[in-house]
Structure 1
Amino acid sequence: MSRPARFKRILLVTGALVVGLAFIVLMVSLKPPPAQQPRDDALRTVRVIEAEALPYRVRARGFGSVTPERSWRAVASVGGRIVYRHPALESGNLIEAGTRVLEIDPTRFELAVAAAEAELAGIETEIRQLEQEKENTADLLALERQRLTLAEQELDRVERLARTGALSQTRRDEQVRATLQQRQAVQSLDNRLRLIPSQLDHLRARRDGARTALEQAREDLADTRFTAPYDIRVHQTEVELHQQVRSGELLFVADGIETAEVVVQVPIPQLRQLLGAAELPADPVGLELAGRLNLESIEAVLHLSANPQVRWPARVSRIASGIDPRTRTVQLVLSVADPWRSARPPQQPPLVRGMYVEAVMAVPAAEPRILVPLAAVHQGEVHVADADDRLRRRPVELLLSQRDLAVIAAGLEPGERVILDDLAPAIEGMRLRVVPDPEAQRALAERAAGAAP
């Protein structure tokens, strides 16, 4: 390519670039500026309520399964054949207290009772006979001692005569032999009388053993019959009529229907608030709470988990198992009295073993606190409107939160206007149009005071 042609081409390219740049500059200069949005902080309308200290109820919730307060596990103490089984001894049936529900064949135990009674009667007869023999021997010993006294007196007289020669030696010897025989008779009776107490002790020991055997036989006989000790609901049955059972074998399980219990776990902070136990240390593991807390002050109710409309009044009866240091919870035991007698199926079913329920516990707080709707707390802050109707963000410390309420421990003062609406974005100092909401204020006070659960 010649030099003039190359120069001409460079001029064309340069001209094209200049024209393109001029066009771009022209388009940028002709572009309209961004539309100016009016300041919307002067247009934001918010609903507010006035922060005030309100009386409120502290509430706690927990879940658990129903268990009977008393459960009867009928275990055979003796073996034998089942000769009677109540027709209602089936799972789910109710049986009144005092009803005979099961019986093991009592024949051999009745025979054992008869044999023990006969043995005891024989020993009693021997004791009476020996006691009478003791009296007879004592009377006979008294007579023989009188005869011995006479014989010794006669021997003394004979020896005096023998010394003077008025009586032969043969007659003296005869009297000596008679006196010795009488002494032997007295000694024999005395020995016999001394042996009788030990013989009586032996018989009395045998009598005590016979009485023990008789009591054991009667206990075994009583163990053949099973009578409901209280009103029961049969949970499970393991035996049938005419079945042979062994000692120690489980026969059936029945639940008492007077009281039902539910064990629920409550975190330690909730329990402290629930009981107003501010004097407790921050770490009460190992502390025996049961003797220090007034459990009767807690109002409680149970709800059927599948149907919250079904409810039973309850009471907190005790603390079970103390404190669990791993989960930092306390096990509270709630009791429901007469869950069967107050039942009205199907609207109000009875509480039965294994039913899953929710426990709601409440107690009036020890002192009023500032409460706000939980929705008014934004990541640890509450938005308020200051005296100039500008937004201020208040960091707050929550004492507790329950359902849709937050109890403020610090960061908010009475009289401040709390914003109920969720502002996005919430810019510090933005202007507001403030509208008091008396209905929300009244509803907050009502929810705080609440009603018994």
Structure 2
Amino acid sequence: MSRSVRLKRVLPAAGALVIGVAFIILMVNLKPPPAQQPGDDALRTVRVIEAEALPYRVEARGFGSVTPARSWRAVAAVGGRIVYRHPELESGNLIETGTRLLEIDPTRYELAVAAAAAELAAIETEIRQLEQERENTADLLALERQRLELAEQELDRVERLARTGALSQTRRDEQTRATLAQRQAVQSLDNRLRLIPSQLDYLRARRDGAQTALERAREDLADTRFTAPYDIRVHQAEVELHQQVRSGELLFIADGIETAEVEVQVPIPQLRQLLGAAELPADPVALELAERLGFDTIAAELRLSAAPLVRWPARVSRIAGALDPKTRTVPVVLTVTAPYRNADPPRQPPLVRGMYVEAVMAAPAAAPRILVPLAAVHQGEVHVADAGDRLRRRPVELLLSQRDLAVIAAGLAPGERVILDDLAPAIEGMRLRVEPDPEARRALAERAAGTAP
């Protein structure tokens, strides 16, 4: 094989090899360097707030349904036919006090009143007659006693004359009989006068009975009319016009609109924190528990469970019943005055029966405490940045926690910088880039004071 032929074969292969080597060198030079792994001393940026003692409110919460403070179950005390029914006597309607709502046919009860009044008048007449008879008998008795005195004198004179023989025995006997007859007349009148008081007592007893019957008849008549005793909201109406009703039958149910109540179940720890941490003034001699514990110092409000922005001011009125050992809750009753006053549906509905609400009760704590966001507490520890901007882990003791706040009892000093971010991993002594967060500090103070939404 000639030299020229060999060159023709070798040159293309050598050219391809050179091009391949050049491509490899170019790719190696263009490849980015491997990523640098951060070391232990790499800086981590964290947000911090300075720990400080802040005034705060202790809160307790519970849920319950609204009930009216006063509820009127109108029950028929007498039977009869409904002759009047107010056109607004329907569920949900508001009716003012003094409005006539319902009337049962009063005819037979009016007749009963008239009959009882007539019986009472007849007895009164008998009493007056007997009292007049007593006066007449007393006057007649006085006259008869005078006649008896004269007869006794005449009898003495006749007996003296008869003993001297100046008067016959027959005349003496006649005078004796006349005197005895007069004595009998006086005794009869006296007996009659003595019987009159017992007869008057009997008539007066009958009069009292007749008066009672009259009052009962009048009450039955009054029970035929139903008038709103206070401003009401009709909850349920069970009767129609011309319907025959029986005594004891439920006619309608109406709720008073002056006040409403909610009984909420509050966890025992929350209630103890509310009453204890706030150091409420106590009056040991007060009979009412509300007075002894000073419930007036507790601020309270109700929030509609389905719309928390709908709220009503309330007050804690009492603790109802005993604690529930199963749920470990205590029933607390809150009262709302004039729940219809500022009603503006649908923005602000009235507080009506059956609404499911959340009760929020709060009282100022006795002294300021160090507070941190609850998210800054990690399994009993708070992460802080020391003076050298390195992470330190502080075991802390919580006095209480509520919503997104943690009240520190021990383990954290004022001025320490609390880390708000959740570091993973949180290595003791790791270097940090610290950035104060004044907005988080302001939000924390607002939540502590209860001014945050």
**TM-score, normalized by length of structure 1?**
0.87
SS at match of 2:201: helix
SS at match of 1:239: coil
SS at match of 1:324: coil
SS at match of 1:336: strand
User: 1:236 and 2:218 equivalent?
Assistant: no
Number of the residue aligned with 1:117: 117
User: 1:157 and 2:157 equivalent?
Assistant: yes
Out of 314-323 and 135-144, give the one that drifted further. 314-323
Which whole-Å CA distance do the structure 2 matches of 1:432 and 1:279 have between them?
A: 41
Task: Call closer, same or farther: CA 1:36–1:434 in 2, change over 3 Å.
Answer: same
Which whole-Å CA distance do the structure 2 matches of 1:35 and 1:197 have between them?
A: 125
Out of 334-343 and 226-235, give the one that drifted further. 334-343
SS at match of 2:158: helix
Alpha-carbon distance, 1:332 to partner: 1.8
Number of the residue aligned with 1:340: 340
Task: Call closer, same or farther: CA 1:296–1:101 in 2, change over 3 Å.
Answer: same
Number of the residue aligned with 2:379: 379
Which whole-Å CA distance do the structure 1 matches of 2:341 and 2:436 have between them?
A: 51
Over residues 82-109 of structure 1, what are the superposed CA-to-partner deviations in whole Å (9 max), with x where a residue is unaligned?
A: 1111111111111111011011111111
Which whole-Å CA distance do the structure 2 matches of 1:134 and 1:167 have between them?
A: 41
Which amino acid in structure 2 is aligned with residue 433 of structure 1? Answer: R
Number of the residue aligned with 2:127: 127
8 Å Cα contact 2:391/2:431 also seen in 1: yes
Number of the residue aligned with 2:179: 179
User: 1:107 and 2:107 equivalent?
Assistant: yes
Number of the residue aligned with 2:357: 357
Out of 36-45 and 370-379, give the one that drifted further. 36-45
Number of the residue aligned with 2:82: 82
Number of the residue aligned with 1:443: 443
8 Å Cα contact 2:399/2:408 also seen in 1: yes
Which amino acid in structure 2 is aligned with residue 206 of structure 1? Answer: R
SS at match of 2:182: helix
Alpha-carbon distance, 1:269 to partner: 2.4
Structure 2, unmatched stretches of 5+, are 1-33, 281-286
Alpha-carbon distance, 1:440 to partner: 2.4
Number of the residue aligned with 1:398: 398
Alpha-carbon distance, 1:444 to partner: 2.0
Structure 1, unmatched stretches of 5+, are 1-33, 281-286
Over residues 293-332 of structure 1, what are the superposed CA-to-partner deviations in whole Å (9 max), with x where a residue is unaligned?
A: 1111111222222222222222222222243343332222
Matches within 5 A, 1:204-353: 204-276=204-276, 289-353=289-353
Which whole-Å CA distance do the structure 2 matches of 1:217 and 1:423 have between them?
A: 84
8 Å Cα contact 1:56/1:448 also seen in 2: yes
Which whole-Å CA distance do the structure 2 matches of 1:198 and 1:321 have between them?
A: 56
SS at match of 2:47: strand
Which amino acid in structure 1 is aligned with residue 318 of structure 2? Answer: R
Which whole-Å CA distance do the structure 2 matches of 1:451 and 1:278 have between them?
A: 18
Which whole-Å CA distance do the structure 2 matches of 1:95 and 1:35 have between them?
A: 80
Number of the residue aligned with 1:370: 370
Alpha-carbon distance, 1:110 to partner: 0.7
Alpha-carbon distance, 1:271 to partner: 2.0
Which whole-Å CA distance do the structure 1 matches of 2:154 and 2:423 have between them?
A: 138
SS at match of 1:290: helix
8 Å Cα contact 2:65/2:262 also seen in 1: yes
The alignment covers a number of residue pairs equal to: 414
SS at match of 2:315: strand
Alpha-carbon distance, 1:347 to partner: 1.6
Which amino acid in structure 1 is aligned with residue 199 of structure 2? Answer: Q
Over residues 124-173 of structure 1, what are the superposed CA-to-partner deviations in whole Å (9 max), with x where a residue is unaligned?
A: 11111011111111111111111111111111111111111111111111
Out of 92-101 and 430-439, give the one that drifted further. 430-439
SS at match of 1:370: strand
8 Å Cα contact 1:289/1:322 also seen in 2: no
SS at match of 2:66: strand
Task: Call closer, same or farther: CA 1:134–1:289 in 2, change over 3 Å.
Answer: closer
8 Å Cα contact 2:277/2:365 also seen in 1: no
Number of the residue aligned with 2:433: 433
8 Å Cα contact 2:278/2:366 also seen in 1: no
Which whole-Å CA distance do the structure 1 matches of 2:279 and 2:305 have between them?
A: 34
8 Å Cα contact 1:51/1:413 also seen in 2: yes
8 Å Cα contact 1:275/1:294 also seen in 2: no
Number of the residue aligned with 1:63: 63
Out of 382-391 and 191-200, give the one that drifted further. 382-391
Which whole-Å CA distance do the structure 2 matches of 1:60 and 1:333 have between them?
A: 13
Which amino acid in structure 1 is aligned with residue 444 of structure 2? Answer: L
Out of 134-143 and 336-345, give the one that drifted further. 336-345
8 Å Cα contact 1:44/1:431 also seen in 2: yes
Over residues 323-365 of structure 1, what are the superposed CA-to-partner deviations in whole Å (9 max), with x where a residue is unaligned?
A: 3343332222222221222111222111111111222222221
Which whole-Å CA distance do the structure 2 matches of 1:244 and 1:443 have between them?
A: 66
Which whole-Å CA distance do the structure 1 matches of 2:116 and 2:438 have between them?
A: 88
Which whole-Å CA distance do the structure 1 matches of 2:357 and 2:112 have between them?
A: 51
Out of 436-445 and 331-340, give the one that drifted further. 436-445
8 Å Cα contact 1:272/1:278 also seen in 2: no
Percentage of matched positions with identical amino acids? 88
